[in-house]
Amino acid sequence: MKDQITRRQFLKMSAGTGLTIAVAASPFGLRLLSAAELQKEGTSFRPSAWLEVRSDNSVIITVSKSEMGQGVYTSLPMIVADELDADWKNVLMQPAPAGDAYRDPVWGSQSTGGSSSIRHMYEPLRLAGAAAREMLLQAASKEWDVSIRECAVSLGTVRHIKTNKMFTYGQLADKASKLSVPQKPVLKKESQFRYIGTALPRLDTGDKVNGLAKFGIDSFAPGMLYAAIARPPAYQADLVSYSKEAAHAVAGVRAVVPIHSGMAICADTLDAAWKGREALKPVWQNGRYPKLSNESLEKEFTGQLDSKGVIARNDGDVKTALDQAARKLDVIYTLPYLSHATMEPMNCTAHVRSDGCDIWAPTQNQTGVLMLAAKLTGLRPEQINVHTTFLGGGFGRRFETDFVEEALLLSLSTGKPVKLIWRREEDMQNDLYRPANVSRIQGGLDANGGATAWSHKIVCPSIFSRVFPAMVKNGIDNAAVEGLENMEYEIPNMNVEYVRMDTPVPVGFWRSVGSSHNAFTVESFVDELAHAADEDPLEFRLSLLKNHPRAKRVLTTAAEKAGWGKPLSKGQARGIAYHLSFGSYVAEVAEVSVDKKTGMVTVHKVTCAVDCGGVVNPAIVKAQMMGGIIMGLSAALKEKIEIAEGGIKSANFADYELLRMSEAPEVDVHIVKSTEKQGGIGEPGVPPIAPAVANAVFTATRARIRRLPMKPETVLAAMKA
Amino acid sequence: MISLDINGKSYQVDVAADVPLLWVIRERLKLTGTKFGCGIGMCGSCTVHIDGKAERSCQTPVSEAQGKKITTIEGLPENHPVKKAWVKEEVPQCGYCQPGQIMQASALLAEDPHPSEAKVVLHMNGNLCRCGTYPKIKSAIRLASTGVKK
């Protein structure tokens, strides 16, 4: 993979040597620019997609999104290459540096999240590819002095149809670059797609298999120091004493630096930094919340169910409908804080100088990193180079910039490049967690078993009030109520109320965000209603989704492929759930068995149906569904952050266990053919799995799981309830 | 000075005897394919071969690796059947844990070229993958072992 280059270098390099196309998001829509035009425009536009055709026929596609496993280093180049009709063999990708040029055209910031990369980049990338194709055609027709209509492109070449004369794109690149960029290039028809919709192999597989892919932790800067930070064991705990001398006595330790998050040791080697941290022997005072624990928090959350919240949705008259219901259900669901636990712990390498700054970071948020560095260093954004590496998992954790801030501060303080690597324990205990939350749901059925009322009150911390406060409208954090306020079930009286709960435990985006918990409560409760109405859970759902054909299709597809209603081996049971998130519909059927003595849940197989609209790469879609299901299952069966004495007690994979191979089910994914608007794929596989499993557990045991994770003791307790 | 034989090359490193092999390989010798995941031997990201056996390099003091043959992901040939199977099955997502998975799997197949599925799972169970590629890892091991795609 090519080294990263700055935008300025890119322009310098490409000027006169080939054809480059940028797409600019302007107030008037998307505009296409050549490199020469871009230089004239200055910086007032925001070109967000780049392609370059070089004279050696290579096509270099710059990807502005971070690769964290979701396949953007392959799927985004596929979109450009298709419209360009490039030869895939000649396609190279390079990660974009951080800069205005690469801001997301929808968000206005350069960042990766919300399962949005393809949705946001599809149009600009197609336009860039199509514009370049038309310019290459035009350049060839000029050379041959024939009409463009007599020429055709194919796999990186332009041909004159009658004479079969041929130019490669590389031969035409220079001449094409002198032409003005067509503003309304004609896009291919779907039937003309060469790559979009095909399972092309990922471009990053070889490097990842051979250990050559460079992650953040693989960054080195000449003369760098290694940093290790001693951190408090509880929130807001002060450092009472420590031995600076003992730390300095460790050979190789260069500096002991107090920073906001603890006491940092900077040393010549990683082992010296870690030994220095040991020698420091910090003593911390009790934190500000000595009684904070899982139990205290749950009591508080549950207590808040009696508080008045803000109304996120109110259809009909839920109170009257509940009063008049023939059958009422009134239940409480409780979900824990979760850690991201990316396999690559947080890390960053930074080098701040008086005239510039380099940052190597596995980040989902280049704009955030750039703005933070500008603020801390006083440098101008164009003096700051953000080198985005591969991300060893992201899941929302790497949208945060806390680890970058520490590396920058330590480089500023020591005047040297600094490489900071968090231990797993630091990573686990200094996360911004998936919020814990408690929901009280009341449902009403009429005498015929029809659902007439749904009242849903959720007590949940707010992510947006910290990350994007402007997006909290009328006191409603959409992240807390997504999946509730837009629930599709056709129930005439529905009320969603949100009680914001602030705790000392910081919260952040965790793969599928609010849907990671709301899908569990909604899809479990709809199952409760189905069983209360004595109806088949699939049929009951379908009867409430008469006007939601996409939801019905994923449900019926998953059910059919899973053999819903057909006999299973003894002791096994199926459960179903569906959820709409990030524009995609996903239904999952889980086949489970429960050891009735121990309460141990085994998931044998998961069948998934996804409708994400038009598909760019079906192999990547399937892989993301499989991965989402297994990560979601890990959370559903095993994960819970332990909190005690005012701090996070879970520390490593010994006490925060992730799903292992022996617990991973067979996963069968079916993509529903769809011409609907594109949806995301990175996150939507996660939400339905927890309720699908819990619903299967109910069928197997008649025990309703209203608390996650489904550890054996939780299942046993539910069986006794 | 500690002498190490890694991927058939010998290295002299000025490092304390108790430093984990992982950090010497990664940060001193810059063979960065071997990854740090947990530091307590619970995730397998740091797996290398020591005299042909899969070992957690985060739990191996560098002095214990002296005089032994160490192989890292960089030392496993590109045409190794396990690497080829990993490519064919498109196992990696984020890719961070995969060098460890591949080293773990290749040690198994070296010892037992045709392990049962139960043996594969038992042998691989110490290697975590947060992206959830386990089903593909199983298929790739089956492919490397039998030459047959599922």
Which pLDDT tens digit goes with each residue over B79-128?
A: 999 999 999 999 999 999 999 999 999 999 999 999 999 999 999 999 99
Res. B28 pLDDT band, cuts 50 70 90: very high
Nearest chain B CA: its distance from A143 CA (Å): 43
Q: How far is A68 from chain B (nearest CA, A)?
A: 5
- How far, in Å, are A77, B81, B148 from residue A88 at the CA level? 9, 26, 28
Contact A343 B129 (CB under 8 A): yes
pTM above 0.90, yes or no: yes
| Chain B positions in Cβ-Cβ contact with residue A212 (cut-off 8 Å) | 33, 74
Q: Say whether residue B92 is in contact with chain A using an 8 A CB cutoff.
A: yes
Distance CA A43, CA A444 (A): 58
pLDDT of residue A17: 58
C-alpha to C-alpha distance for A517 and A334, rounded to whole angstroms: 9
Nearest Cα of chain B lies from the Cα of A205 at a distance, in angstroms, of 6
Contact A488, A471 (CB under 8 A): no
Residues of A in contact with B45 (CB under 8 A): 343
Q: Where are the beta strands (DSSP E) in chain B?
A: 2-6, 9-13, 47-50, 53-56, 69-71
Closest Cα to residue A170, out of A210, A139, A147, A192? A139
How far apart (Å, rounded) are the C-alpha atoms in residues A629 and A609?
Answer: 12
Interface check for B86 against chain A (CB to CB < 8 A): the answer is yes
What confidence score (pLDDT) does residue B147 get? Answer: 87
A666 touches chain B (CB under 8 A): yes
Interface of B with A in 96-115 (CB under 8 A): 96-99, 102
B38 touches chain A (CB under 8 A): yes
* DSSP H helical ranges for A442-497: 464-467, 478-481
| Beta carbons of A603 and A590 less than 8 angstroms apart | yes
**Would you list the DSSP string of A564-596?**
TTS--STTEEEEEEEEEETTEEEEEEEEEEE-T
**Are A387 and A358 a contacting pair, CB within 8 Å?**
yes
A493: contact with B, CB 8 A cutoff: no
Q: Which of A112, A200, A208 to mutate to test the interface with B (most CBs of B within 10 A)?
A: A208
User: Nearest Cα to A332, choosing from A177, A440, A196, A418?
Assistant: A440
pLDDT of residue A27: 58
Binary contact (B23, A271; C-beta < 8 A): yes
CB A577 within 8 A of CB A519: yes
How would residue B71 be classed by pLDDT, with cut points 50, 70 and 90?
A: very high
Q: Count other Cβ atoms within 10 Å, centred on residue B24.
A: 27
What is the rounded distance in angstroms from the CA atom of residue A703 to the CA atom of residue A696?
10
Residue A16: predicted pLDDT: 45
Which one-letter DSSP state was computed for residue A215? Answer: B
Q: What is the pLDDT of residue A30?
A: 74
A-chain residues near B36 (CB < 8 A): 217, 345, 421
Q: What pLDDT, on the 0 to 100 scale, is given for residue A389?
A: 98
Give the pLDDT confidence score for residue B150 in this predicted structure.
62
Partner-chain contact A204 B95, CB within 8 Å? yes
Hey, of B13, B24, B38, B56, which one would you mutate to test binding to chain A, going by the most A CBs within 10 A of its CB? Answer: B38
CA distance A462 to A310: 13
Start-to-end C-alpha separation, chain B:
49
As averages over each run of 10 residues, the pLDDT of chain A (721 residues) reads: 38 57 70 75 57 91 96 97 96 91 89 96 94 95 97 97 96 91 94 97 97 98 98 96 98 98 98 98 94 98 98 98 98 98 98 98 98 98 96 98 98 98 98 98 97 98 96 96 98 98 98 98 98 98 98 98 96 98 98 98 98 98 98 98 98 98 98 96 98 98 98 98 89
Alpha helices in A197-269 (DSSP H): 205-209, 244-249
Task: Give Cα B127 distance to the centre of its chain.
Answer: 10
A654 vs B contacts (CB less than 8 Å)? 40, 42
Q: Which two tokens stand for residue A503?
A: 């705790």
Put simply, whether A224 touches B (Cβ < 8 Å) is no
Is B19 within 8 Å of A271 when comparing Cβ atoms?
Answer: yes
Among B21, B131, B133, B150, the residue to mutate for chain A (most A Cβ within 10 A): B131
Q: What's the rounded Cα separation, in Å, for the pair A129 and A59?
A: 11
CB pairs A-B closer than 8 Å = 170
Tell whether A66 is within 8 A of chain B (Cβ): no
Phi, psi of A682 (to 5 degrees): -65, -35
Residue A99: the pLDDT is 87
Does the CB of B40 have a partner CB in chain A at under 8 Å?
yes
